[in-house]
Amino acid sequence: MSLIVQKFGGTSVGTIERIEAVADKVTEFRRQGHDIVVAVSAMSGETNRLIGLAHELQSQPTPRELDVLISTGEQVTIALLSMALNKRGCPARSFTGSQVKILTDSAHNKARIKEIDGSNIRAELKRGRVVVVAGFQGSDEDGNITTLGRGGSDTTAVALAAALKADECQIYTDVDGVYTTDPRVVERARRLEHITFEEMLEMASLGSKVLQIRAVEFAGKYNVPLRVLHSFQDGPGTLISLEESLEMESPAISGIAFTRDEAKLSILGVPDTPGIAYRILGPISDANIEVDVIVQNAAADKTNDITFTVSRGDMVKAEAILHETAKELGAREVVTDAKIAKVSIVGVGMRSHAGVASKMFKTLADISTNIQLITTSEIKISVVIDENFLELAVRALHTAFDLDDTSSESA
Ligand code: ADP
Ligand code: ASP
Ligand code: MG
């Protein structure tokens, strides 16, 4: 008998019928004798609806109150799923994040889990009950309700699995595993049997929303065996683990991630002197704006241009700061562009394959896609391009790096 943490996402609990279907599934696992802890998301669309209500009132909703509001979505689902389980003769009890005692820091709307007191859950499991926990939330030292950022129920599940030393953490969702790229964008995307934490971490941080990045971080840190599966279709899903592929010929690239969530800002014609990057980017980070890609190029006339990207929601704030800095430094111009996208190729195989970058650049050249910015790390290469070319670029790269699923094609 094992202890399994199962997480069901928003679409999987989006209607009463689906909640009943989830209850059937959980009951079946329980009948097999496993101890089950279930973490659930809000019903699909609910978190967005609640955020929309807050924005009708305030353009920048008070962070503490926003958390009180948006944490209610998950509270609805834990109650409904527990009722559905009890109805099936499968004893279950619901817990909000703070009832479990999921202790977080006080960074409202993007809190980090510090500690989980598993004693309540263990006591309930001992009584033979299924424990149903509200995902995406916790509370801080002072008892304020906090939430963990969009997609945070994944992190709740993995953190519970780590705290309870579960045998496996199963993330049930609306696709049957982790794919080479978003299967809703590339029809020929292929399900991966296996992906390393390292690769999954890059994929998540570069825009693949199938798992929240913090969930992958947690799973890697505590070595929680993690599997992504379809809620209502049987299948092996995708295992995320430490080991690299055992195949002899591991591919150069395992997956392609992309995001439309960023915006690009440039400050042109600043003096090329020591400390200039700090003078420009210091005030941006002081305003708590995260900077992603940064490129600096020096011109022959002893001036510099610095270009960087921030998340699109921060663009207006960053632009105002940059105009201030431009005035102070006597810069020539500030230019912004929100119509950009970032495409990244990811794979541990990159370490042992040469020519990956040039193949990427040639593929983009062949479809006349202009590369605006490039950044690389050991296992990924990212390019910033015009948003209009995004889907074309992802498909072309998917084919060029032999990721297409050709199994359904006739010979
Ligand atoms: P849930 O509500 O269950 O948490 P999400 O919408 O957060 O589900 O995540 C699942 C979605 O992630 C899929 O429907 C798919 O469109 C998207 N996705 C993006 N990249 C990938 C990928 N590489 N593999 C699988 N799904 C992906
Ligand atoms: N309900 C939250 C969201 O929509 C958390 C989650 O679903 O993981 O972001
Ligand atoms: Mg999700």
Q: What is the pLDDT of residues 368-387, one digit of tens each?
A: 999 999 999 999 999 999 99
Residue located nearest, by CA, to atom 9 of ligand 1: 210
- pLDDT band at 411, cuts 50/70/90? very low
The per-residue pLDDT for 263 is 97
Instruction: Give the pLDDT confidence score for residue 297 in this predicted structure.
Output: 86
Distance in angstroms (rounded) separating the CA atoms of residues 353 and 64: 48
Protein residue closest via CA to atom 10 of ligand 1:
210
Q: Looking at the predicted structure, is the pLDDT value of residue 248 above 70?
A: no
**Residue 262 pLDDT class (50, 70, 90 cuts):** very high
Instruction: Using the mean position of ligand 2's atoms as its centre, give its distance from the Cα of residue 145 in Å.
Output: 15
Query: 167 near 37, Cβ under 8 Å?
Result: no
The CA R_g of the chain, rounded to the nearest whole Å, is 23
On whether residue 201 sits in a domain, the answer given is no
pTM for the whole structure: 0.93
Domain that holds residue 266: 256-400
For residue 215, tell me if it sits in a domain.
Answer: no
Among all bound ligands, the one having the nearest atom to the CA of 209 is 1
Is any atom of ligand 1 closer than 6 Å to the C-beta of 179?
yes
Whether 391 is in a domain gets the answer yes
The 10s digit of each residue's pLDDT in 69-113 is 999 999 999 999 999 999 999 999 999 999 999 999 999 999 999
| Residue 407: band (very low, low, confident or very high) from pLDDT cuts 50, 70, 90 | confident
- 110's tokens: 């993007």
**279 in the same domain as 156:** no
What three-state secondary structure class fits 394?
A: helix
User: Is 165 inside any structural domain?
Assistant: yes
> Both 160 and 288 in a single domain?
no
Q: Which of 173, 188, 212 is the last residue of a domain?
A: 173
CATH, residue 265:
3.30.2130.10
Q: Which residues pair with 320 in a beta bridge?
A: none
Residue located via tokens 């690299």: 244
How many domains does the chain contain in total? 2
Q: What is the mean pLDDT of residues 238-248?
A: 73
* Same domain assignment for residues 264 and 146: no
Closest Cα to atom 21, ligand 1: which residue? 182
Q: What pLDDT digit, counting tens, does each position of 313-337 carry? A: 899 999 999 999 999 999 999 999 9
Share of the chain above pLDDT 70, in %: 98
Mean pLDDT across 252-281: 94
**Ligand 2 pocket residue status of 73, Cβ below 6 Å:** yes
Query: In this structure, is residue 68 part of a structural domain?
Result: yes
182 lines ligand 1 (CB under 6 A): yes
pLDDT at 298 over 90: no
203 CA distance to ligand 2 middle (Å): 18
User: What does the alpha-carbon distance between residue 29 and residue 127 come to, in Å, rounded to a whole number?
Assistant: 17
Is position 172 annotated in a ligand binding site? no
Give the model's confidence band at 409: pLDDT under 50 very low, under 70 low, under 90 confident, else very high: low
Tell whether 23 and 137 lie within a shared domain: yes
Q: Is the pLDDT of residue 410 over 50?
A: no
Residues 56 and 165 in one domain: yes
Asked if residue 136 is part of any domain, the answer here is yes
- Is 230 among the domain residues? no
Which residue among 148, 173, 198 closes a domain? 173
State which ligand 2 atom lies nearest to the alpha carbon of 150: 9
The answer to whether 71 and 136 have CB atoms below 8 angstroms apart is yes
Residue 278 resides in a domain: yes
Residue from 156, 175, 192, 230 whose mutation best tests the ligand 1 pocket (most atoms within 8 A of CB): 175
Q: What is the pLDDT of residue 290?
A: 93
The pLDDT of residue 35: 98
User: 43 and 163 in one domain?
Assistant: yes
